[in-house]
Chain A
Amino acid sequence: MDLSANIAGLTLKNPTMLASGVLGVSRASLKNVIGHGAGACVIKSISLEARAGHNAPNIITFEAGAINAVGYSNPGVDAAKEEFSNLKELGSPVVASIIGKNADEFAEMAERFLSDEFAAVEAVLSCPHTPGYGTLAGQNTPENTEKITKAIRKKTDLPVFIKISPDSNPIGEVARAAEAGGADAIVAVNTMGPGMVVDIQTGQPILDFKMGGVSGPALHPIAVRCIYDIHKATKLPIIGCGGVTFGKDAIEMMMVGASAIQIGTGIYYRGIDVFKKVTDEIAEFMQRKGYNKLDGFIGLTHKLEE
């Protein structure tokens, strides 16, 4: 059985990827995640300058997932360039993740940070909890998506992935804008919201930033619908992200059009070997249904409509 996944010229030994923002702070942490079965990793997002991020609580969980407002803590481009070296030795492709306040900053990040250490670059236009970035800066509109994608495209030969917000409406237009800007794939989706959780003993919002991006099982059906819509709108390959906890969650995303999937909050529920567990569950499903490669069911939902 062949579990390998293909995305914009990258070949992954299995379709599970570490989502950006979870672990991925250091080369050693990527190595550990790859050792637990990840087919690829996306590093935690890097900005030009070092950022301390929001005060804690940064992450809490609730009945149906997690909510976070980390605020893009990262050591800045120069320290990150030192940290993320010799990545080819790690055994699975590593994808860079970059953020910027505007198209010029994204272009500068691409120029200063990217190298062929990385297999691709993911540009995040969709964080819902960091002022100056993502949806709070309007980066998720079709106009800004195209402008930022173009700016990055000019500065790198790496495959460019654009990570978009589930709160983009209509999401297909945003995906088309990324395609027009020269993107090679869409990562769908970032966390949704922002949402809030309040401590009723004190009336205080628990996250220090008060609100944060919602991930995990609560996000999953929304992510599936987003992938379905994007697949209808563009020809670009899609990497699914949002509430993948079990193999069945990954399979659903692939049936509506994802070629690979990312896992973040799933680590909370199933441990760091969630990558291996999800891959094994996909393999069991394929065995049962008689599929010998992922292409057998990628896009199945759409084929049924033809």
Chain B
Amino acid sequence: MENPIGKIEQPISLPIKRIVRETEHIKTFFFNREFGSKPGQFMIMWIPRVNEKPFSIAYDENGELGLSIAVVGPFTEKLFTFKEGDLVGLRGPYGSWFKLKPEYKKVLMVGGGYGTAPLATLAQQAVAQGTVVDFCRGAHSKNLLLFGKRLNEIGVNKITATHDGSEGTQGSAVNLANDQIDKEQYDCVYICGPELMEKKIVVHCAEKKVLCQVSIERHMKCGFGLCGQCCIDGSGERMCKEGPVTTGEYALKQKEFGAYHRSKSGLLEYFHDDH
């Protein structure tokens, strides 16, 4: 009989190797260790006596892990005071990932805000296998757009929207992405960003009968599939295990996708459109 007992998952304390400032709100923290993750999976970072939080993976190659993190609350505010050499705990990778098929000729990736981070590695893998990648990024303004240089180096076709028009088309990434879906033939569309943005694109893909995959972020306390805080209404499945990356078809069957999520206590919090 299988014997799964003895498996240990605890954070590994690692020093920060270097810190790169990406935008006004985002820094990438690099660590001297590879975790063998796939694009779309996440790590959980521990700052002792502060908290533990999940983060998507921006780099996991050449002996290095890189997490591109936006400052959004007490945990990330604390992290942003850290210097090279300071220790944080890391465990993972966890969750499902974006699936890329070798026969895909052309794909669209849509990254809203720091949602660009996990897609960049996927873009790199797609380009390496000869798939053409149109990469649509959206942000409020030019200085908040992530990975301009990295995406150029990877060799994707960059398509950009900013709300203030400071780079690319003025407007939302949603309209830009949905126009692309109308104009081009994509084998798959990959979406990671704010959930209302995600839903509008997933719905459009469904209407146009285009395959898509989407990352559904939920409050994750453990990453082990035990606490249940990330179970989604609909299937009841755990977004730390069966998610966060799902097909668009699956996402649209989940009652809470694009509608609400659960807070730390489990109370429902509805999504509101900022724009």
Contacts and interface: CB of A to CB of B under 8 A. Distances in A.
B274 interface: no
Interface stretch (A3-11, A70-78, A141-149, A153-161): A70-78
A264 B235 contact: no
Nearest to A30: B236
Interface of A: 22-33, 44, 50-53, 55-64, 66, 68, 70, 73-76, 79, 83, 197, 199, 201-202, 204, 206, 208, 216-217, 245-246, 264-265, 267-272
A264 B222 CA distance: 14
B264 A52 contact: yes
B4 to A, nearest CB: 4
Contacts of B10: 60-62, 197, 199, 206
Given A32-B235, A63-B8, A199-B13, A56 B51 contact: yes
A148 to B, nearest CB: 24
Contacts of B275: none
Choose among B7, B12, B266 the residue with the greatest number of A CB atoms under 10 Å from its CB.
B266
Contacts of B168: none
Interface stretch (B139-147, B185-193, B224-232): B224-232
A76 B265 contact: yes
A58 B11 contact: no
B1 A55 contact: no
A56 B52 contact: yes
B236 A204 contact: no
B210 interface: no
Given A61-B10, A206-B46, A32 B237 contact: yes
B51 A55 contact: yes
Given A58-B222, A79-B268, A201-B87, 11 more contacts: A31-B236, A32-B231, A32-B235, A56-B46, A56-B52, A62-B8, A74-B265, A202-B13, A208-B51, A269-B4, A272-B241
9 contacts: A22-B228, A28-B231, A28-B255, A44-B266, A55-B50, A74-B265, A199-B11, A208-B51, A269-B5
Contacts of B262: 25-26
Contacts of A51: 265
B237 A75 contact: no
B228 A63 contact: no
Given A59-B221, A73-B229, A206-B46, A79 B8 contact: no
Interface string B238-267: 100100000000000001000000111111
B89 interface: yes
A218 B28 CA distance: 39
B266 A75 contact: yes
Nearest to A59: B222
A208 B265 contact: no
Contacts of A33: 236
Contacts of A30: 236
Contacts of A269: 4-5, 7
A202 B48 CA distance: 9
